[in-house]
Structure 1
Amino acid sequence: MSRIWRPISGVVFAAGLLSTACSGGDGGGGADDASPARGGSGSSQVLVENCVGEKITFKAPPGKIVTSNAAGLEILLRLGAGPKVIGTGFPPAKGALPADLADQAAKVPVLGRTVIPKEKLLGSGADAYIETFRPTRGAHVGPRPEEFKAAGIQVVQLRSTACAAEQSGPRKDLSAVTEDIERMGTLTGTSERAREIVAGMQKTLNTVGERVAAVPEGQRPTYFVFDFDAGSKEPTAVCGKQVANAVITLAGARNIFRDCDADYMKTGWEDIVDKNPDWIQLAVRNRGSEKADDKAFDEAERFLKSFPATRGLTAVKEDKFLRIRSERTTTPGVANAETVERIARTLYPDKFEDVR
């Protein structure tokens, strides 16, 4: 394996093209990840901790928020904080959200179909910028810290993805994702709704956990996320530090790249052949319609069945494919828990016969 890399289309995108993770916010110490500041009576200050211990202070919950992509936007919409969102980049494609959320998302101004242009972001009037992925070190395509500060914008990161590189060992649960949801709830004054969302996710995860717990680790099927949009010439390994590893693990499977000490890395087909996965997820970005999605899934499957290096894989020969969009697995949100259940139901159908 070699360099760290992130897919570039849809919601999962090249971190090097994003704005810098650091903000010009005031520092704070000794606070929780997102909590009211310990100030005088009636204080409405909020402290938020980003990656590498960076603390951001808001004098009051931000009323104007821009999101870097659809992941952050969806979380805020589910929290009921949609009216606070004044712009987004990488907007959700048609069909990516439930109808009620899609209607709300359609009202959010699109500042960039992909990465938001620097001038639009700085001139947006936002108080906060929610960043899903941190840029690679040394990349400054977006605003620099001093430019964010001059514009009065503070950057808040979704730590489950932005801080993946700092975590120790593989990700085995969705605690970082649920913490992100709770942090966004604290930030936007919707903590009660955040707790409801997290409780719903945990209920789903508990149901799956009860059914797969008895399966010994060594007997759990191996699983490969084939990120078709990331390129087939030099495939991408979705590694242990990525949210997807937690999704796969909780579903009762073993990510073939769980020991890869990164979130993503480029690898070679020979490595995948050596690992010979039992199941393969055909991961494609939302194309905007069910028909277009199906076409992309078909293309990914045809590639694996025709490519000399992969047509002999166990999963390919036995048609053990799961058609699940990339966003539901690799970016933080409620869909992660739903995907855990979907994978588990596919791998262990007999364990879910009594559950609708």
Structure 2
Amino acid sequence: MRFRALCGVAAAVALLATGCGSSTKSGDAAATAGASTSAVAGYPVKVTDCAGAGTTFTAAPKKIVTSNASSLEMLLQLGAGDKAIGTGFPPAKGSMPAQFADQAAKVPVLGQMVIAKEKLLGSGADLYIDTFAHATGMGGMGDVPTEQEFTAAGIKHMYLHSTACAATHLGPQQDLSAVEGDIKNLGAVTGTSAKAEELVAGMEKKVGAVQDAVKGVAADQRPSYFFFDFDAGTKQPMAVCGKQVANAVITLAGARNVFGDCDGDFKPVSWEDVVAKNPDWIQLGVRNKGSDAANQQAFDQAAQFLRDFPATKGLKAVQEGHFVRITSEVTTIAGVRDADTVQQIAAIVHPDLVKG
């Protein structure tokens, strides 16, 4: 079920950047070593895994493999996409921002899901960006390299804290600081810190505008919100819990995630649980199908299920047609576009306060 949930929302399981060395501190260290001709500006840079163990970079990596589309998109957003030599869980057609689609399509696919251990170790990469934390809990997806094997292959191993560490090492995500930390850390590692700061500043500006707009709405007056992961299956709903990135997105948009109090990032629940919550709004969680027409068809199918299913057809959101049609990738996966999703959800659930 855990693996199905990850695939249903286009993969993701979260990571925070606390405890990682800042690019500013690293820059100071490099400046101190400026007398050495071997010193590289902005380095060394130290990042940590979920347990706090550090990895130090003395120069920018040249060949990067990403575990899935979210970390690949981060590289592209940072302007470091030319370093990508392979990825797992490749982006679905139409899911990448248009300006990066052609470049993303040229990155070799090393695995349609988790990259096989032998292929990853033999890829020639000097950095592996891990969104899944070794695919822990992903349903017997095969063997994964040990840290010793990564080292022997000359591959440094970096985690996105907002997804890989969420379930085990983070508290509830109520803002995008974890995602922003990942962007800054990856920027520091790849030598694109200036671009990372620019991206984060843009995210903070968008989210800040929403926060200003909804600040007058009391917490108990904010609409309740259920992320319905339609692609994960309809037999048993999969809840987005407090440690998932989507909880931060929903919270910042001025809504209340009805399962925000469950521990972890994802959790299977019952339809009885959903009925008991009786949400004001339901997001129709479908993966990007590659075109507006295909996406609308998928949204329609998800909405029709809720209208027809005996357990849900009487829900307030269903009766009132309060469906949010935003794809899963930009809601449940860490990235720059999370801030756009905050704006979009806020404009739907608070139309009098936030303009679309």
Instruction: Give, in whole Å, the separation in 1 of the partners of 2:258 and 2:293.
Output: 30
List runs of 5+ in structure 1 lacking aligned partners.
Answer: 16-20, 22-29
Tell me the TM-score normalised to structure 1 length. Answer: 0.89
- Partner residue of 2:214 out of 212, 215, 239: 212
Number of corresponding residues: 339
SS of structure 2 residue aligned to 1:51: coil
For 1:96, the aligned partner's letter is S
* Contact 1:68/1:90, CA 8 A, preserved across alignment: yes
Instruction: Give, in whole Å, the separation in 1 of the partners of 2:161 and 2:12.
Output: 17
Residues 28-39 of structure 1 aligned to structure 2 (within 5 Å): 32=21, 36=26, 38=29
Alignment correspondent of 2:167: 165
Deviations 1:180-219 (CA, angstroms, capped at 9, x unpaired): 0000100100000000000111110011011100000110
Alignment correspondent of 2:264: 262
* Contact 1:11/1:70, CA 8 A, preserved across alignment: no
Say if 1:311 and 1:273 are closer, same or farther in 2 by CA, change over 3 A: same
Say if 1:144 and 1:331 are closer, same or farther in 2 by CA, change over 3 A: same
* Contact 1:182/1:194, CA 8 A, preserved across alignment: yes
Shift of 1:145: 2.5
Say if 1:6 and 1:47 are closer, same or farther in 2 by CA, change over 3 A: farther
Deviations 1:275-312 (CA, angstroms, capped at 9, x unpaired): 10000000011222323222221211111111111111
Shift of 1:158: 0.5
Residues 335-350 of structure 1 aligned to structure 2 (within 5 Å): 335-350=337-352
Alignment correspondent of 2:87: 88
Alignment correspondent of 2:136: 136
Say if 1:225 and 1:148 are closer, same or farther in 2 by CA, change over 3 A: same
For 1:241, the aligned partner's letter is K
Shift of 1:155: 1.2
Alignment correspondent of 1:13: 11
* Contact 2:70/2:334, CA 8 A, preserved across alignment: yes
Say if 1:313 and 1:255 are closer, same or farther in 2 by CA, change over 3 A: same
After the TM superposition, which of the residue ranges 97-106 and 341-350 deviates more from structure 2? 97-106
* Contact 1:276/1:313, CA 8 A, preserved across alignment: yes
Provide the identity percentage.
57
Alignment correspondent of 1:69: 68
Shift of 1:59: 3.2
Alignment correspondent of 1:177: 179
* Contact 1:11/1:71, CA 8 A, preserved across alignment: no
Instruction: Give, in whole Å, the separation in 1 of the partners of 2:242 and 2:283.
Output: 16
* Contact 2:206/2:343, CA 8 A, preserved across alignment: yes
For 1:337, the aligned partner's letter is A
Is 1:108–2:107 an aligned residue pair? yes
* Contact 1:226/1:236, CA 8 A, preserved across alignment: yes
Instruction: Give, in whole Å, the separation in 1 of the partners of 2:46 and 2:266.
Output: 30
SS of structure 1 residue aligned to 2:226: strand
Shift of 1:168: 5.1
Tell me the TM-score normalised to structure 2 length. Answer: 0.89
Deviations 1:67-113 (CA, angstroms, capped at 9, x unpaired): 01110011110100011111111121222122221122122112122
For 2:235, the aligned partner's letter is K
SS of structure 1 residue aligned to 2:99: helix
Alignment correspondent of 2:56: 57
* Contact 1:173/1:246, CA 8 A, preserved across alignment: yes
List runs of 5+ in structure 2 lacking aligned partners.
Answer: none
Alignment correspondent of 1:329: 331
Say if 1:52 and 1:181 are closer, same or farther in 2 by CA, change over 3 A: same
Deviations 1:113-162 (CA, angstroms, capped at 9, x unpaired): 22222222111100111111223269653223232222111211100011
Residues 256-295 of structure 1 aligned to structure 2 (within 5 Å): 256-295=258-297
- Partner residue of 1:241 out of 236, 243, 249: 243
SS of structure 1 residue aligned to 2:157: strand
